[in-house]
Amino acid sequence: MKAQQADVVIIGGGMVGLGLACALKDTGLSVVVIERMEATPRLSLGRDCRVSAIVAGTVEMLRGIGVWEYIGSRAQAIEGMRIFDDQRFGSVRFEAAEADMQELGFLVENSVLSDAMTQVVHDSDSIEYCCPASVDSVVWKASHVELTLADGRLLHTPLVVGADGGNSWLRLQAGIQVWSHRFMQRGIVATVRPQFSHKGVAYQRFLPTGPLAMLPMTDNLCSIVWSADDPEADRLMALDDAAFLNELQLAFGPLLGTLQEVGERAAFPLRSQLAKHMVRPRLALIGDAAHQVHPLAGLGVNLGLRDAMALAQEISDARRFREDHGSMDVLSRMRGNRIPDVLAVMSAMEGFHHLFTSEMPGVPWLRDAGMRAVGNAGTIKQLLMRRATGLSLPLPKQIS
């Protein structure tokens, strides 16, 4: 069978893989996305139980690649954030207005974001979306990569991108190992209906077992991410809805009045993971295939989309200057651009996790004092907000 030529092959059509395809749509390059299965969201009170807090900097990127216009009213603006500790009285409030922003970001159901990206992909003549499809074998040659699909098709490409998630098949084929730390916790997700209006505020409460996030959704629903040690997560998952709602109310407190209804729950193991190599000749790993962070800051997909934009930018620049976009010269520039951001977020998340779960003498006092100090220090707060929302990072130039 004659091999098909593609300029870029992306394995994995999750939010990050599709994000890269969308970013490459106007570059004149031919792109093939290979996704092994059609996504079917797990519904909780009629909403996808998987949601993402998309920070303001990422929203700008999604606008730039034509994805945001398909999301519009289906996203809930996050106008403020309140972080508080179960043990003490310290709490921090972040308001978008304090940093001269309209909103800190938006809460979007993962399926809404994926559908918007799929729409952009379908509208493009240069992107081929293969689903369901998978790759049987991959062989790296000096000048290109040879891929054999399960249906027998052959693909040749100068660059293959692994966007196939935390258990990346492509990373395994390339023999790239990971540093991995399992928190021995799971994140329970579900949609709940509170009594009072959430007013666009995202709440994060630190419990001795881990953080509980109550995130605002459209129609005054909220999405929870409740991180708990494995045995506690098992216990919470085994409760019936009424008993679960009762425990959730006790854990979250009365801020939104009575929690009236909860939808179907799902639980995901939590880990922190970093691939030992993000790039190799003719290979780039992006998103969870390259790094996974604790969801407590809601930054995983944001980091992955920043990888996608940085890679698209380097590929597009390489094409303009007639460079081989699968070469290490080009891919190293993308790695150099991304590693500081990834490491900064990973270490901050590890630090927060330990700070808020540790009961060593002095630590509860320290976090209480820290939260009060941040709460009172306008400039530090503004810097933290601009960093957390990705607005302090340079936006990729126009990719075309």
Ligand X SMILES: Cc1cc2nc3c(=O)[nH]c(=O)nc-3n(C[C@H](O)[C@H](O)[C@H](O)COP(=O)(O)OP(=O)(O)OC[C@H]3O[C@@H](n4cnc5c(N)ncnc54)[C@H](O)[C@@H]3O)c2cc1C
Could you report how far apart the first and last alpha carbons of the chain are, in Å? 33
Measured between alpha carbons, how far is 131 from 159 in angstroms, rounded to an integer?
20
Stretch that binds ligand X, among 35-43, 79-87, 176-184, 338-346 (CB under 6 A): 35-43
What is the DSSP code string of 256-280?
TS-EEEE---EEEEEEEEEES-SEE
Measured between alpha carbons, how far is 235 from 192 in angstroms, rounded to an integer?
19
Question: Least distance in Å: CB of 284 to ligand X?
Answer: 12
Measured between alpha carbons, how far is 218 from 198 in angstroms, rounded to an integer?
10
- Which pair of tokens denotes residue 56? 């303001």
**Which amino acid, one-letter code, is at 12?**
G
| Residue located via tokens 């590890």 | 350
Among 9, 17, 203, 285, binds ligand X (CB under 6 A): 17
Measured between alpha carbons, how far is 108 from 113 in angstroms, rounded to an integer?
7
Measured between alpha carbons, how far is 174 from 43 in angstroms, rounded to an integer?
36
Stretch that binds ligand X, among 30-38, 191-199, 332-340, 378-386 (CB under 6 A): 30-38
Among 116, 192, 275, 301, binds ligand X (CB under 6 A): 301
Please, which of residues 314-353 interact with ligand X by CB under 6 A? none
Q: How far is CA 73 from the centre of its chain?
A: 21
Question: Least distance in Å: CB of 199 to ligand X?
Answer: 19
Q: Which is nearer to ligand X, 11 or 309 (CB)?
A: 11
Among 57, 66, 90, 187, binds ligand X (CB under 6 A): 187
Q: How are beta strands 283-285 and 160-162 bridged, if at all?
A: parallel
Among 263, 287, 364, 390, binds ligand X (CB under 6 A): 287
Contact between 148 and ligand X per CB under 6 A: no
Here's the x/- map for ligand X, 351-370, by CB under 6 A: it reads as: --------------------
Contact between 211 and ligand X per CB under 6 A: no
Question: Least distance in Å: CB of 324 to ligand X?
Answer: 25
CB count in 10 Å sphere of residue 119: 16
Question: Least distance in Å: CB of 109 to ligand X?
Answer: 11
Please, which of residues 214-273 interact with ligand X by CB under 6 A? 225, 268
User: By C-alpha distance, which of 21, 38, 14, 87 is closest to 311?
Assistant: 21
Contact between 298 and ligand X per CB under 6 A: yes
Contact between 42 and ligand X per CB under 6 A: no
- Which pair of tokens denotes residue 40? 């079917």
Contact between 52 and ligand X per CB under 6 A: yes
Contact between 189 and ligand X per CB under 6 A: yes
Q: Which is nearer to ligand X, 101 or 308 (CB)?
A: 308
Among 23, 27, 32, 35, binds ligand X (CB under 6 A): 35
Q: Which is nearer to ligand X, 152 or 362 (CB)?
A: 152
Stretch that binds ligand X, among 68-76, 88-96, 287-295, 321-329 (CB under 6 A): 287-295
Q: Rounded to the nearest 5 degrees, what angle is found at the Cα of 55, between the Cα atoms of 11 and 83?
A: 125
**Which amino acid, one-letter code, is at 1?**
M
Q: Which is nearer to ligand X, 3 or 39 (CB)?
A: 39
By the 8 A CB rule, do 65 and 26 touch?
no
Among 80, 210, 211, 304, binds ligand X (CB under 6 A): 304
Stretch that binds ligand X, among 9-17, 96-104, 171-179, 203-211 (CB under 6 A): 9-17
Contact between 300 and ligand X per CB under 6 A: yes
Contact between 48 and ligand X per CB under 6 A: no
**What dihedral do alpha carbons 84, 90, 96, 100 form, nearest 10°?**
-160
Contact between 16 and ligand X per CB under 6 A: yes
SS3 56: helix
Q: Rounded to the nearest 5 degrees, what angle is found at the Cα of 290, between the Cα atoms of 285 and 293?
A: 155
By the 8 A CB rule, do 176 and 277 touch?
yes
Please, which of residues 80-109 interact with ligand X by CB under 6 A? none
Using CB under 6 A, count the residues that bind ligand X. 31
| Interface positions with ligand X (CB under 6 A) | 11-17, 34-37, 52-53, 134, 163-165, 169, 187, 189, 225, 268, 287-288, 295, 298-302, 304
